[in-house]
Chains A and B, each alone.
Chain A
Amino acid sequence: MGGIKADQDQAKAYSEMTKRVTPNAPLFKNIVLAFLVGGTICTIGQGVLNLFVAFGFSPEEAVTPTLGVMIALGVSLTAGGIYDEIGRFGGMGSALPITGFANSIAAPALEYKREGFVLGVGAKMFTVAGPVLVYGTITAIIVAALRWLLVGIS
């Protein structure tokens, strides 16, 4: 390999070489941890849901307040400096539940308070969660419109 800026073939060869010396991610371990952490968070959520049901909510009505409680929990664990430690081993098991969504809003809110409450906290709060809302909203509108047109609303 010669050049300073590798051409496509050289870059490809170097990429292969890099793959050969890169240790494999502990795939099995990461998956088991994601399963356990994600499952545990959802089980806690189920406990909260059941509480709301016990207080007279229907299972459907209970979903929204449950999400609220779980989001508040995710924000609290972030403020306490705990959620990032869970994320280090939990991977998507901590990122995918709504508590991870809450973490992705609270973490920049805390981080950027030093740049002020308007241009720091206010502007940066949705740096990670923003894309989730943007694409969730766009996809949902398209999907719902298609369903309305093709199947109709029952």
Chain B
Amino acid sequence: MVASKRIGQQTLAFQNPPVILGAVAIVGQKEGEGPLGGFFDQIEADPLLGEKTWERAESRLLQQAANLCLQKADLVPGDVDFLLAGDLLNQIIASSFCARELNVPFLGLYGACSTMAQGMALGGMLIDGGMAELVLNCVSSHHETAERQYRYPTEFASQRTQTAQWTVTGAGAIVLGSSSFAKTGLARVTEATLGRVVDYGIKDPNNMGAAMAPAAADTIAQHLADTDRKPSHYDAIITGDLGTVGKKLVLQLLEQKGWQVPSLLHDCGEMIFDAAQDAHAGGSGCACSATVFCSYWLKKLQAGALKRLLFVATGALFSPTSYQQGESIPSVAHAVVVEGMPNGGGS
């Protein structure tokens, strides 16, 4: 049997593209004070969200994003066929603990900071494959849970390097529906390019942008090759959380592959903080690309200011154990094509 919905090596083209019925971005105080503060749905001033631990706080962020997202799409958890969620914590407990509250069949995902795009691609497959009508995708990250897991205790006095990125506290959620919901859709997901794991030998866990840039370049170039398109087919190519250093690298790597895209390419990690916020190379974490995409970029699509985006979320697939053992940092990037719906209802 021929895989009729495949184009080229790594790209899927949905026959009945799933539509985005609702999207939510909830962030912490620092993100709320950043340049995109006005675009987020909710800003949480308390990093603990009234909970006892940072981990519970992260799970709470995820739950709030999931519930608000369903509410915005006029749905209740019982309407949803599957929950696809992921985060950065060991054994993705923020997601599992969120799923415990939602009572929806759950698939836990781990793609590090690429998880939102991974979930959108998988959700699209479930829906276009006729396995689901409605799929809820959500991801979270939390600065303090990431610090204690990957780096030092939160009160430990340490200086951040120039290439270090600041893990975004926040959660993003998207509910995808089958094409039968087209009239209430905000945008639709038409294609996905699933990335290979790429490793160019970067070992410094404080330079994830450099570790992930080759994966982003590989997936973008593969997508263009698979679809036989030029970058200008898109109004914007949006990378996840490469930060200022990784963004410069991905532009150079794409140039080596013959593509010049400096004015088309935007990076969520670079956008979410400004220079005065002491975030050094920019934001990172699952919630970085997810919250910026679910707020700023989807609003641009809805407003018709942009018509077609290539959203390329990137993930560094390492653990504290692997870098202490001297391993380099493998990375992955997944891309989804998201198009505006000029005739869609959306509000």
Contact = CB atoms under 8 A, between A and B. Distances in A.
Contacts of B306: none
B155 A106 contact: yes
B75 to A, nearest CB: 35
B58 to A, nearest CB: 13
B159 A30 contact: yes
A151 interface: no
Given A1-B253, A4-B199, A6-B201, A111 B159 contact: no
Contact of B158 (A6, A15, A87): A87
A73 interface: no
B153 A112 contact: yes
A117 B214 CA distance: 44
Contacts, number: 109
A37 B155 CA distance: 18
A11 B200 CA distance: 5
Contacts of B199: 4-6
Contacts of B207: 18, 22
Interface stretch (A47-55, A60-68, A78-86, A140-148): A78-86
B191 interface: no
A126 to B, nearest CB: 12
B202 A14 contact: yes
Contact of A107 (B154, B196, B248, B256): B154
B15 interface: no
Contacts of B161: 25
B166 to A, nearest CB: 12
A95 B159 CA distance: 10
B214 A111 contact: no
B186 interface: no
B157 A84 contact: yes
Binding site secondary structure of chain B: loop
Contacts of A127: 153
Interface in B127-162: 148, 152-162
Contact of A95 (B157, B160, B202, B278): B157
**How many B residues touch the partner, as a band?**
35 or more
Contact of A17 (B53, B197, B218, B249): B249
Nearest to A10: B200
A38 interface: no
Contact of B148 (A21, A30, A104, A111): A111
B163 interface: yes
Nearest to A94: B157
Given A78-B155, A111-B155, A14 B162 contact: no
A110 interface: yes
A107 B152 contact: yes
Contacts of A14: 200-202, 210, 214
Interface in A2-37: 4-6, 8, 10-12, 14-15, 17-18, 21-25, 30
B159 A114 contact: no
A65 B149 CA distance: 35
A124 B149 CA distance: 13
B293 to A, nearest CB: 25
B317 interface: no
Contacts of B200: 1, 6, 10-11, 14
B201 A107 contact: no
B252 interface: yes
A89 interface: yes
Interface string B203-247: 000010010001000100000000000000000000000001100
A106 to B, nearest CB: 7
A110 B157 contact: no
Contact of B155 (A4, A10, A110): A110
12 contacts: A4-B197, A14-B202, A21-B245, A21-B252, A81-B155, A83-B155, A83-B157, A84-B158, A89-B159, A107-B153, A107-B154, A114-B53
Interface of A: 1, 4-6, 8, 10-12, 14-15, 17-18, 21-25, 30, 78-79, 81, 83-84, 86-91, 94-95, 100, 103-104, 106-108, 110-112, 114, 124, 127-128
Interface of B: 52-53, 148, 152-163, 196-202, 207, 210, 214, 218, 244-245, 248-249, 252-253, 256, 278, 328, 330
Given A17-B249, A25-B162, A111-B148, 20 more contacts: A4-B197, A6-B199, A8-B201, A10-B201, A14-B200, A14-B210, A18-B202, A18-B245, A21-B249, A22-B162, A22-B245, A81-B155, A84-B155, A87-B156, A87-B158, A91-B159, A100-B157, A106-B155, A107-B153, A111-B153
